[in-house]
Amino acid sequence: MKASGLVLVHSYWYLSLVACVRNPITCQWETTRVTRYGHQSDVLGRDLAYSIWLVNGAPKLQSYNKFEHQFSFETHDTLEIFLFILVLYLLLNIIAHIKLHKHCSVHSHMLLASLWLSCVGLLLTTTHLSVFSFDGQGLGRLSEFGTFSTQWADAVFLALLLSTAEVGFLPGSSAADRQVTKSECCWRLPGSRDYAYHAVASGCEQTQSQPTNNHKTNTNRLAQPWSFLIGIIALFLFLQTALYAWAAIDRDPVIDFSIWNTVPGCLLLAVRFAVAFWFLAILRRRKLSLDTTNQDIDEAGDVLLGPGIDFIHFAAFFLLWMLILPLVVFIAETSVSSLWRRKTIISVCSSSNFIAACVYTCLLIRCCQVNQVPF
């Protein structure tokens, strides 16, 4: 590489351990593995206990930046990134609890669960990196639990988006929504099956349309949508946990492969694509059912999702969020240097997750304020 007449040569440092001993007479290093003729080495069979501590940068500059001395270059600033995102999530959690504490809906519970799982995951990861910045070892198990907690938060949020696409932000909260829900339960695309997810919409509609039923019947109808939502959340949690655990085990510690270069890592990205297509299929089916009632496209968001919600903007934004992870991983693995790859994926994906959580929280708060009724 030439720059301004100078030739820049990359330098590589290697560490080699050789079994040897210094000869006190000749002051030369002699190997202890091979016995020389006429010499009986008294160090044969001895074990040498050693401890190697590799750091990044000059030892004299250790106090210059304590949060980067123990990290390799590709992990520089990761502690600051996770700490910054953690503070943002804590603020969002506080705002969400203040605004939604009077609205006991399934979506508000799922949103708060996703936010708290994200906070726990970020807190555990930040704690590990903070300890690592001082002793160079950290808390590996704590970091793994933090990673799994973040994956669980994504799984809950994906299930939340599918539920919102099916029944709106406030299930069965308005007469228009109940009317469309009733038409969905009676109308199906030609040749399509009666999807089990319709149980969420029908359960919400039946529960509010017949308030005079006995307690046992209401309990059964309330349990129907809850059981299916729990099933979806359990499915996503199982897939995220199993594939990520498989990817962590499948990684070669010698070869510097990221988790996305493994087979289970690719399957995790494939799950994102599958959920994105499922999300689009639900929105398409509900839009087609709305067309049968001769509703205007401008009113689709108000009728299908909630008051003041734009149907197209909602679909486009959260579809983009679902595809952010595969797109960023593909671009980073093919076009970004390995020195910046990990930081790029972490920063872009963490910030996109936070923005998606902020947008959904704002939309849910708006719907709750318009209805003004705890449900």
For residues 143-166, average pLDDT: 90
CATH number of residue 86's parent domain = 1.20.1070
Do 244 and 327 have their domain in common?
yes
Do 248 and 319 have their domain in common?
yes
- Where is average pLDDT lowest: 136-145, 177-186, 231-240? 177-186
**Residue 55 within a domain:** no
Q: Which amino acid, one-letter code, is at 235?
A: L
**Residue 325 within a domain:** yes
Which residue did the predictor score with more confidence, 341 or 37? Answer: 341
Which residue did the predictor score with more confidence, 368 or 194? Answer: 368
Which residue did the predictor score with more confidence, 73 or 194? Answer: 73
Do 150 and 267 have their domain in common?
yes
Q: Taking the CA atoms of the chain, what radius of gyration do you get in angstroms?
A: 29
**Where does the pLDDT of residue 375 fall: very low under 50, low under 70, confident under 90, or very high at 90 and above?**
very low
pLDDT over 70, % of the chain: 65
Do 241 and 304 have their domain in common?
yes
Query: Residue 296, CB half-sphere, CA atoms under 13 Å: how many?
Result: 4
For residue 369, CA distances in Å to 87, 302, 307 come to 26, 14, 10
Q: Which domain holds residue 18?
A: 2-31
Do 7 and 89 have their domain in common?
no
**Residue 133 within a domain:** yes
Do 230 and 92 have their domain in common?
yes
| CB distance 119 to 90 below 8 Å | yes
Q: Please name which of 361, 362, 341, 346 lies closest in space to residue 150, comparing C-alpha atoms.
A: 346
Asked if pLDDT for residue 124 goes beyond 90, the answer is yes
Q: What is the pLDDT of residues 69-109, one digit of tens each?
A: 777 777 888 889 999 999 999 999 999 998 887 777 788 88
**Residue 97 within a domain:** yes
For residues 231-242, average pLDDT: 87
Do 241 and 97 have their domain in common?
yes
The 3-state DSSP class for residue 169 equals coil
Q: What is the pLDDT of residues 347-374, one digit of tens each?
A: 999 999 999 999 999 988 888 776 654 4
pTM greater than the 0.85 cutoff:
no
**Residue 218 within a domain:** no
Query: Residue 164 and residue 72: Cα distance in Å, rounded?
Result: 42
Do 89 and 236 have their domain in common?
yes
| ∠ CA 55-61-63, rounded to 5° | 95
Query: Residue 116 and residue 86: Cα distance in Å, rounded?
Result: 11
For residues 179-207, average pLDDT: 42
**Residue 358 within a domain:** yes
Q: What is the pLDDT of residues 251-302, one digit of tens each?
A: 666 565 677 878 888 888 999 999 999 999 988 888 777 666 555 555 555 5
Q: What is the pLDDT of residue 9?
A: 57
For residue 239, the Cα-to-chain-centroid distance in whole angstroms is 13
Q: What is the pLDDT of residue 117?
A: 94
Asked if pLDDT for residue 157 goes beyond 90, the answer is yes
| CB distance 180 to 293 below 8 Å | yes
Do 104 and 23 have their domain in common?
no
Q: What is the pLDDT of residue 224?
A: 52
Question: What sections of the chain are H helices per DSSP?
Answer: 78-100, 106-135, 140-167, 175-186, 198-209, 215-250, 263-291, 300-304, 311-335, 338-371
- Count how many domains the chain has: 2
Average per-residue pLDDT in the chain?
74
Q: What is the pLDDT of residue 36?
A: 53
Residue 78, φ and ψ in degrees, nearest 5:
-70, -35
**Where does the pLDDT of residue 62 fall: very low under 50, low under 70, confident under 90, or very high at 90 and above?**
low
Query: Residue 367 and residue 197: Cα distance in Å, rounded?
Result: 22
pLDDT over 90, % of the chain: 23
Do 92 and 12 have their domain in common?
no
Do 7 and 139 have their domain in common?
no
